[in-house]
Structure 1
Amino acid sequence: MVMKPSDIRMSFRTEENTGTTSGMCEKYTQANLVTLPKAYAFDFLLFCMRNPKPCPLVEVMEAGQTVPKVAEADIRTDLPRYRIYRDGKFTEEVLNISDVWQEDFVTFLIGCSFTFEQALLDEGIPLFHQVQKKVVPMFDTTIPLETAGIFKGNMVVSMRAVPNELVQRALSISDRFEQSHGSPVHIGDPEEIGITDLQKPDYGEAVDFDPAKVTPVFWACGVTPQNAALQAKPTIMITHAPGHMLITDQMDANY
């Protein structure tokens, strides 16, 4: 039986389940999370608006708000893992953020490529990271972003190895999901976007595949703001851990 999003979120809240959300609650939209003090919120909003491919906004929550419109959830406890950055440095990974919550925090929910994964599976496109029970591999790139205030940097991408004969189908499917990164930003040679080794991802885990039979396809990734934070250096910034999203109550078809 497929679990409901509310049941899955409760398993995160009670810390019974702390794994990747890829493949969970098929047909329900997932979202990346970025939480910042209000002083940085306008710059980050501009950053998302100027870089909609890696940062497609699903919802912007008001300062201090903990329950989003897209889910009957508490964003402080209902993701499986969070990362905390202080002054631009990753300091810790935690299972909830209740202890560090501030009333001036503004939370941004950003579209996630996990949203279109079920559509790929429905069309017969295999997902190696799910089969191998790994977090999808993600990479820093040399693709520049539009600067907004203190936020700048290069794009982070997620990679899925797609059988050569199914690449065009994968493009057509993902293109429909504009609020979940949409179509790929690069196909083929990873070195063209600054990636030197597909077996050494910057985030997530490497997957095994036969390079003669598949093509690496790269989608813009919601980990991009974490990369930008390293340069922006806000006093504190909280995000989902890569691959560990908010599962919403919204259906993929709505996006």
Structure 2
Amino acid sequence: MKPKELREKIRRGEFASHTSGVCHNYVQANLAIVPKEYAFDFLLFANRNPKSCPIIDVLEAGKVESALALGSDIRYDIPLYNVYKNGELTGRLKDLGDVWSDDFVSFLIGCSFTFESQLVKENIPLKHIEQNKNVAMYITNIETNEAGLFKGPVVVSMRPIKNELVQKAIAITSKFPNMHGAPIHVGNPMEIGVENLTTPDFGESVEVEEGETPVFWACGVTPQSVAIHSKIPYVITHAPGHMFVTDITNEEYLSLNIER
């Protein structure tokens, strides 16, 4: 399925699932929307936390079309949205038509689902894709670098990787710095404050079996953790795992980065 076809299905209500493993080889993005008065602080926060919040596009106040997907509409092209008010999750919406404001600034943030396609191409199995699950995500004891009101713990996504393939996975994902890049932790989850891998804070758990190592990447769900921790008055995000899919392929995005 091509990204445009997927976005059309989402708008018609025909696709409401997570996007892990969907539209292989196309860049996917996390979403954070804030009122204009908080936009500069969020941009500064992202700049200070590039592993967790690598921004790949910004839609100015009131704009709904991303330059990465012509004809797109940020209000309708994600399967599920979360709405946070003063740190509380107050709504899970299929679209933003009824809550949209011309004061909203939208940030698209690089997503690890992008480098997953490359890992699969390079014969590194990913259990959550094989099992049709959303990737497991955990709130850590690692603190972000704060900016204005924005502060809180880093969220990571975890994938069990065969021991002999860990270094290969690190090398592949390091080529995607705007999609969280190389892992921020490998091995013992207790060292980053994750006590039980079977109970993720977001997503679905997958078993880490003998001969496998849990590998942790910074995650674009971090803004949701920060919205809760900092009690930001109003923040809209994607629901974890339910991404905005662009029209840019992984290879095209890598080429753009090289040219820059």
2:114 matched to 1:115?
yes
Extract unaligned runs of 5+ from structure 2: 255-260
Is the Cα–Cα contact under 8 Å of residues 20 and 241 in structure 2 kept in the other structure? yes
How far did residue 15 of structure 1 move? 1.2
Distance (Å, rounded) in 2 between the aligned partners of 1:33 and 1:126: 27
How far did residue 209 of structure 1 move? 3.7
Letter in 2 for 1:37: P
Q: What residue number does 2:78 align with?
A: 79
1:95-114 correspondence to structure 2 within 5 Å: 95-114=94-113
Q: What residue number does 1:147 align with?
A: 146
Letter in 1 for 2:169: A
Given the alignment, which residue of 42, 50, 66 partners 1:52?
Answer: 50
Distance (Å, rounded) in 1 between the aligned partners of 2:109 and 2:153: 17
2:169 matched to 1:170?
yes
How far did residue 69 of structure 1 move? 0.6
How far did residue 235 of structure 1 move? 2.2
How far did residue 45 of structure 1 move? 0.4
Letter in 2 for 1:113: S
Q: What residue number does 1:16 align with?
A: 14
Distance (Å, rounded) in 2 between the aligned partners of 1:201 and 1:122: 27
Letter in 2 for 1:140: I
Distance (Å, rounded) in 2 between the aligned partners of 1:175 and 1:160: 15
2:239 matched to 1:203?
no
Distance (Å, rounded) in 2 between the aligned partners of 1:239 and 1:225: 8
Q: What residue number does 2:257 align with?
A: none
Q: Name the TM-score, length of structure 2 as normaliser.
A: 0.95
2:161 matched to 1:157?
no
Aligned length, in residue pairs: 252
Question: Which deviations, in whole Å up to 9, do the C-alpha atoms of 1:131-175 show, x marking residues without a partner?
Answer: 111110000001111110000111000000001110010000000
Distance (Å, rounded) in 2 between the aligned partners of 1:71 and 1:27: 15
Residue 6 of structure 1 aligns to a residue whose secondary structure is: helix
Q: Name the TM-score, length of structure 1 as normaliser.
A: 0.97
How far did residue 123 of structure 1 move? 1.0
Identity %: 52
Distance (Å, rounded) in 1 between the aligned partners of 2:28 and 2:152: 24
Distance (Å, rounded) in 2 between the aligned partners of 1:139 and 1:18: 23
Letter in 2 for 1:200: T
Q: What residue number does 1:186 align with?
A: 185
- What RMSD, in angstroms, separates the aligned Cα atoms of the two structures? 0.8
Given the alignment, which residue of 233, 236, 252 partners 2:234?
Answer: 236
How far did residue 87 of structure 1 move? 1.3
Letter in 2 for 1:96: D
Distance (Å, rounded) in 1 between the aligned partners of 2:40 and 2:178: 20
Q: What residue number does 1:62 align with?
A: 60
Is the Cα–Cα contact under 8 Å of residues 127 and 159 in structure 2 kept in the other structure? yes
1:19-34 correspondence to structure 2 within 5 Å: 19-34=17-32
Q: What residue number does 1:221 align with?
A: 219
Distance (Å, rounded) in 2 between the aligned partners of 1:174 and 1:111: 12
Question: Which deviations, in whole Å up to 9, do the C-alpha atoms of 1:19-61 show, x marking residues without a partner?
Answer: 1111111111000000010011011000000000000010111
Extract unaligned runs of 5+ from structure 1: none
Distance (Å, rounded) in 2 between the aligned partners of 1:231 and 1:216: 26
Letter in 2 for 1:95: K
Distance (Å, rounded) in 1 between the aligned partners of 2:134 and 2:20: 7
How far did residue 234 of structure 1 move? 2.5
Residue 138 of structure 1 aligns to a residue whose secondary structure is: strand
Q: What residue number does 1:40 align with?
A: 38
Letter in 1 for 2:196: D
Distance (Å, rounded) in 2 between the aligned partners of 1:235 and 1:103: 17
